[in-house]
Amino acid sequence: MRRKQQVRHIVQPKNKSRAEQLRFLAELHGEIPEKPRRQTLNVKKFLIVSAIVIAVSLAVVFFAGYRLRAIDVYNQQVELTGQGTINTSTPIYTILRAVALIELGIYAVYAIIRLLAPRRRKPNRSIWGDIGIYLMLSIVAVAMVFPLVFSVCSALKPLDELFRFPPRVFPQHVTLDNFSDLMVTMSQSWVPFMRYLTNTVFITLAGTFGHVVIASMAAFVLAKYDFPGGRAFFDLVVTALMFSGYVTGIPNYIIMSRLKMIDTYWAVILPAFAAPVGLFLMKQFMEGLPTALIEAAHLDGAGEFRIFWEIVMPNVKPAWLTIIIFSVQNLWNTNAATVIYSEEKKTLVYALQQIQAGGVARAGQAAAVTVIIMLVPVTIFILSQRQILETMASSGLKD
């Protein structure tokens, strides 16, 4: 008896691309096998398994944490009374808790992949390959965010926890005494705290604005106009990227001294105008801007400055936002101690570093200083990270 063939349901695409039309014809003639249907996710079974895995993992984590705290208390009593022996089983529970947390993280990644599988674009051919990719990215992300988390947690620790060995990442008794002590110390200075803050804000805003304007104007000329020496000038800018601020410190000091600008704000602001990284990024980004757009503006009678401010600058917004991030980070973190000598003109970072160098008694205030110094650059980066990534991705590409 002849076996009955299964009827294939092939839907003709409507208003689709040429490739999809050809694929439809190939499937119609049997040249391409029909796509297998995706297996639907059993939500009830998935939730039950997830609840069991999460409950077991959390139970192990809490049990290991309870045992670690109990061992810590017991060892402290042994050290105080001198009776008994030190419990050395701490590494066992530490490893057990770490394994449970890693297992919980792996299952969380697996659950996200399973839930988002029908609507996502697979970076790999198999689900285990996806788990490996996301696990590797998670490990890298944890390694990068760990210094930030550790700094914030250290600022929230009391002094006895700051000097505990081995150190712990998260504080057991959260306190804001470090920040309050820092404010008390700053209020005792003969120069008001707001004076240091005002100096830093003025230097940062003035230096950033001038750097963005000068770098953008120079990059526009280098990217869209041909003139003698333009290529050599850009090569000089690329060469200047290899020199750090420590190398150029002495030449900058000599130039500012000849210009009679030592012990003024301009000794910090003017060198910031000539930072080569802004010119490099802006020039590479502007090369991707269509030249036909500028030529059309010329035909409509627009002048050079109008083209620059109304056409070019709005189209290179990610580039100058990236320059703002780099410039703010550089100027905010400078102490300017080599070119500014008057105490009333010192920056906030200089004053905070003097407190940070106060020794063991100010260890808590030093941790609070670290958080305050990195707060502004990290906040600006988080708000503008998309523009930064876009600039970095397109700064080296050319048509």
At residue 233's C-alpha, the angle toward residues 232 and 234, to 5°, is 90
Assigned CATH topology for domain 181-394:
MetI-like fold (1.10.3720)
Please name which of 212, 159, 161 lies closest in space to residue 328, comparing C-alpha atoms.
212
**How does pLDDT run across 247-259, given as a tens digit for each residue?**
888 888 888 888 8
Residue spans of alpha helices (H) in 117-192: 127-155, 159-162, 177-187
pLDDT tens by residue, 323-345:
888 888 888 888 887 888 887 88
Task: For residue 369, count CB atoms less than 10 angstroms from its CB and return exposed for 0-12, middle for 13-18, buried for 19 or more.
Answer: buried
pTM: 0.59
- Give the DSSP letter of residue 5: P
CB-based burial label for 299 (10 Å; 0-12, 13-18, 19+): exposed
Q: What is the phi-psi region of residue 82: left when phi exceeds 0, alpha when psi lies from -120 to 50, beta otherwise?
A: left
Question: What does the domain layout of the chain look like in residue ranges?
Answer: 8-35, 38-120, 126-174, 181-394
pLDDT band at 304 (very low <50, low <70, confident <90, very high): confident
Give the whole-angstrom CA distance, residue 232 versus residue 229: 5
Are 365 and 185 contacting, i.e. CB atoms less than 8 angstroms apart? yes
pLDDT tier, 120 (very low <50, low <70, confident <90, very high otherwise): very low
Angle at the Cα of 86 from the Cα atoms of 83 and 91, rounded to 5 degrees: 165
pLDDT in tens, 346-365: 888 887 777 767 666 677 77
- 63/99 Cα distance (integer angstroms): 13
pLDDT, position 171:
79
